[in-house]
């Protein structure tokens, strides 16, 4: 008899500050409709000077630990494409900050925005091998592009923490998965750059190609038909991409592609990404949080997931909300994480954007800005120093 494995809990955190797209538009003279309608973005989270993927990841994970404890967690999988170290996993810092036991494996995963889905699937495999254990999956990223570049308006920052185990309270993850990989240079960030490089048109085309390939593989393994899904959660580098993706899938499947059909499938999933911006690995799971927080009861109704990571790798899979899942949601906390952000002027945003950590190996304190539970207090001897607030 197969066991039910999936997402037992989900929590997210985002940056201290927010830049409204109206503020960005006033600076660069862009018509606001290009942002609000063209890419489907209203604002973007901006990390404080003392926030990074570690502090965001720990802030997302802490409520999960507070609710469930640490006794069953044997593995932490930290997914990011904003890595702070080429050797040490960012998850090891989080392991310390949230008080996990030493009898834990910790590893960092990378494949652009797809990494968190790889972590989720690997976690399911570990739990299937040993149903007594739970796996903590953390997806944490800061999306950064050059000032006045086409990608600037899609920036964002967030982390999602998911506890994976048997008899999940939120969502059971089904087999099969549809997979697709192609060697494409649509988006990349060499080690010597802080800001990513992107070929916008090529990236959209690569995304849609990967969606088509992953869906084809899913159906060839006797996956569900499009009509069976209550909703679809897509990776959202900008929320309008979810619209493009679902319309492409419906067209590929010979289904109705009108506005109402698309909005019914993806409309609720864009609420958090629309105001947070692109959070890379966390994006598709912010879509899930937004869906579960807003939708009528989805118990037993399949939800489709398309996870895409540039370069490119994609996976299509299905999750089914568990009976009573609404009793375990963090809707109030999720909305508070967004509403608590402090608005920035353009000058303040630019100052944070241009800031970088010293590389001379000296002792450097970091300005105290975050009101979150963890902060990067400084850097000394090329070592990052984190503290609990």
Tell me which of 113, 233, 246, 353 is the catalytic residue: 113
Segment 27-47 shows an average pLDDT of: 97
Per-residue confidence band for 201, with pLDDT thresholds at 50, 70 and 90: confident
- At 110, is the secondary structure helix, strand, or coil? coil
What tens digit of pLDDT does each residue of 69-99 get?
999 999 999 999 999 999 999 999 999 999 9
pLDDT digits (tens, 9 = 90+) for 45-64: 999 999 999 999 999 999 99
Beta bridge partners of 44: 19
SS3 state of residue 34: helix
The pLDDT value recorded for residue 239 is 98
Q: Phi first, then psi: what are they for 29, rounded to 5°? A: 75, 20
Catalogue all structural domains in the chain, each as residue range(s) with its CATH number: 5-388 (3.40.47.10)
Per-residue confidence (pLDDT) for residue 253, from 0 to 100:
95
Which residue is listed with tokens 């590893």?
107
Q: Is 81 a catalytic residue?
A: yes
Which residue is listed with tokens 């608005």?
A: 343
DSSP character at residue 113:
B
Q: Tell me, what's the pLDDT at 199?
A: 86
pLDDT at 197 over 90: no
Model confidence at 196, pLDDT cuts 50, 70, 90, reads confident
Q: Any catalytic annotation for residue 235?
A: yes
Question: How many percent of the chain have pLDDT more than 90?
Answer: 93
Other C-beta atoms closer than 10 Å to the C-beta of 182 total 13
Strand order in the sheet with 363-365: 363-365, 374-380, 383-388
pLDDT, position 194: 84
Residue that the structure tokens 């399949």 belong to: 302
Which whole-number Å values give the CA distances from 68 to 9, 18, 62, 291, in the listed order? 9, 31, 10, 23
User: Which tokens hold the place of 110?
Assistant: 């990378």
**Catalytic: which of 20, 51, 81, 108?**
81
- Give the per-residue pLDDT at 52: 98
Q: Tell me the per-residue pLDDT of 130-149, one tens digit each, with 9 for 90 and over.
A: 999 999 999 999 999 999 99
* Residue from 339, 338, 341 nearest 349 by CA: 341
pLDDT in tens, 344-358: 999 999 999 999 999
pLDDT of 118 strictly over 80: yes
What does the pLDDT read at residue 317? Answer: 98
* CA 307 – CA 62 distance, rounded (Å): 25
Catalytic residue among 235, 246, 248, 353: 235
Q: Provide the terminal-to-terminal Cα distance of the chain, rounded to the nearest Å.
A: 47
- The 10 Å Cβ neighbour count of residue 381 is 8
For range 330-340, the mean pLDDT: 98
Q: pLDDT at position 238, please?
A: 97
Of 4-13, 189-198, 203-212, 324-333, least confident by mean pLDDT is 189-198
pLDDT in tens, 243-265: 999 999 999 999 988 889 899 99
Tokens of 163: 């506890």
* Whole-number pLDDT of residue 1: 57
Phi, psi of 186 (to 5 degrees): -100, -25
Question: What's the CA gap between 18 and 332, in Å, rounded?
Answer: 19
Q: Angle at the Cα of 179 (from 129 to 90), degrees rounded to 5?
A: 60
User: Using CA atoms, how far apart are residues 359 and 350, in angstroms rounded to an integer?
Assistant: 21
Tell if the pTM clears 0.85, that is, is over it: yes
Average pLDDT of the chain is 96
Residue-level pLDDT at 195: 82
Give the dihedral of Cα atoms 366, 372, 373, 375; nearest 10 deg. Answer: -10
**Closest of 59, 134, 53 to residue 330, by C-alpha:** 59
Is residue 119's pLDDT more than 70?
yes
């Amino acid at each position: 008899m197969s066991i039910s494995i999936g997402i037992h809990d989900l929590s997210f955190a985002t940056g201290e500050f927010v830049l409204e797209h109206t503020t960005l538009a006033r600076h660069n003279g862009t018509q606001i409709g290009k942002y609000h309608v063209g890419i489907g973005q209203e604002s973007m989270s901006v990390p404080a000077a003392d926030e990074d993927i570690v502090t965001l990841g720990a802030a997302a994970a802490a409520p999960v630990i507070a609710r469930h404890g640490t006794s069953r967690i044997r593995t932490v999988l930290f997914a990011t494409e904003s890595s702070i170290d080429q050797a040490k996993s960012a998850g090891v810092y989080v392991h310390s900050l949230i008080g996990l036991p030493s009898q834990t494996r910790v590893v960092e995963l990378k494949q652009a925005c797809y990494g968190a889905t790889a972590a989720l699937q690997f976690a399911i495999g570990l739990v299937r091998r040993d149903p007594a254990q739970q796996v903590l999956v953390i997806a944490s990223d800061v999306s950064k592009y050059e000032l006045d570049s086409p990608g600037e308006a899609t920036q964002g920052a967030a982390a999602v923490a998911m506890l994976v185990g048997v008899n999940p309270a939120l969502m059971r993850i089904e087999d099969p998965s549809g997979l697709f990989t192609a060697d494409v240079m649509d988006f990349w960030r060499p080690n010597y750059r802080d800001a990513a490089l992107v070929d916008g048109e090529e990236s959209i085309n690569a995304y849609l190609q990967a969606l088509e390939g992953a869906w084809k593989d899913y159906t060839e393994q006797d996956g569900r038909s499009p009509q069976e899904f209550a909703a679809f959660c897509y990776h959202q580098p900008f929320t309008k991409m979810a619209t493009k993706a679902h319309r492409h899938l419906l067209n590929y499947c010979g289904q109705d592609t009108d506005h109402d059909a698309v909005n019914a499938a993806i409309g609720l999933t864009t609420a958090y990404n629309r105001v947070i911006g692109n959070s890379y690995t966390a994006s598709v799971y912010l879509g899930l949080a937004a869906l579960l927080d807003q939708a009528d009861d989805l118990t037993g109704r399949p939800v489709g997931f398309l996870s895409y990571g540039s370069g490119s790798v994609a996976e299509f899979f299905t999750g089914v909300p568990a009976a009573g899942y609404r009793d375990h949601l963090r809707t109030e906390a999720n909305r508070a994480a967004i509403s608590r952000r402090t608005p920035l002027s353009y000058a303040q945003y630019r100052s944070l954007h241009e800031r970088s950590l010293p590389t001379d190996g000296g002792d450097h304190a970091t300005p105290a800005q975050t009101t979150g539970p963890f902060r990067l207090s400084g850097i000394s001897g090329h070592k990052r120093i984190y503290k609990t607030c």
